[in-house]
Amino acid sequence: MAQPVILVTGSTDGIGKATAAELLSRGGAAVIIHGKSEKEVRVAQRELAKRSGGERPDTVTADFSDMDQIRWMAEDLLTRYSSLNVLINNAGTYQKTRQFSEQGIELTFAVNYLAPFLLTGLLLPLLRKGAPARIVTVASSAHEDVDRIDWNDLPAWYHYRAWDAYALSKFADITFTYMLARKIAGTGVTVNCLHPGVTNTHILKTAFPGVSGISPEEGAQTSVYLALSPHVTPISGRYFDGKKAVPSSKLTRNRTVQERLWKLAEELTNVPANPKGKSGL
């Protein structure tokens, strides 16, 4: 029987790297790590192999600020693998000033929301072949700070505020989880999201210098739990905190808001709805 295959995006540092390390240490799965550059992933690959006693992860590269690179990465994975059992959408960013992706979209929204939306859509064929399969997306309790959405300000964020942009991107990850769970129900692929806890990562240091959180290893625990635990097998469309399914904010559960953010992502990524099981959501 073939080993299950697990992809962890944004796994050259922080929570993603700790997640990959934990998955490798447990054995029994082929782990793929992702980073922005070949240099980054090779350094992480060597370190993770050393930490795991020789278990060497595979690698993929793509700068998530560029949708073309995400598409190339997905095509690479579709060529190299016959199935995918777990996709952990972990990669993220926090921008103190307004920046733009290669496609001219505000960078936080592009990397934290549109990138996992696009990648998940492109990899759904592999996930369906790997069913029962799981999609795990790292969101944040920051979403609770979103009490309204200025639709006229998206996706450009003309009135940019760093924390608000970050919070909304994580809010969107949660609505994506709820919408996707309904769309792929019955396919053998489940999707859940999580708050990892306030964790000592580059994002925390950038957003709140001087604030201390839990270690990346602790922050990775819910991601690993959702990726591997048999208790989660039948669960889809839920938000987790501390390995427990909890309610996200009321606004994230508003279906009109969910559908509007989904439609916006479809338009910006050109990922069409596709019930036939091919690439698309």
pLDDT mean by block of 10 residues, the chain; 281 residues: 91 97 94 97 96 89 98 97 98 97 97 98 97 98 97 92 97 98 97 96 89 95 98 97 97 98 96 57 77
Q: For residues 231 and 247, what is the distance between their CA atoms, to the nearest angstrom?
A: 18
Class of domain 5-269: alpha beta
DSSP code per residue over 108-164: HHIIIIIHHHHHHHHHHHHHHHT-SEEEEEE--GGGGG-----GGGTTT-TT--HHH
Domain boundaries defined on the chain: 5-269
Q: How far is CA 79 from the centre of its chain?
A: 21
What pLDDT was estimated at residue 277? 46
Is 94 an active-site residue? no
pTM of the model: 0.96
What pLDDT was estimated at residue 185? 97
Q: For residues 21 and 90, what is the distance between their CA atoms, to the nearest angstrom?
A: 14
Cα angle value 37/91/216 (rounded, 5°):
105
List the catalytic residue out of 81, 94, 113, 166. 166
Q: For residues 181 and 263, what is the distance between their CA atoms, to the nearest angstrom?
A: 16
What pLDDT was estimated at residue 275? 42
Residue 104, sorted as left (phi over 0), alpha (psi -120 to 50) or beta, turns out to be left
Q: Which two tokens stand for residue 56?
A: 């060497």
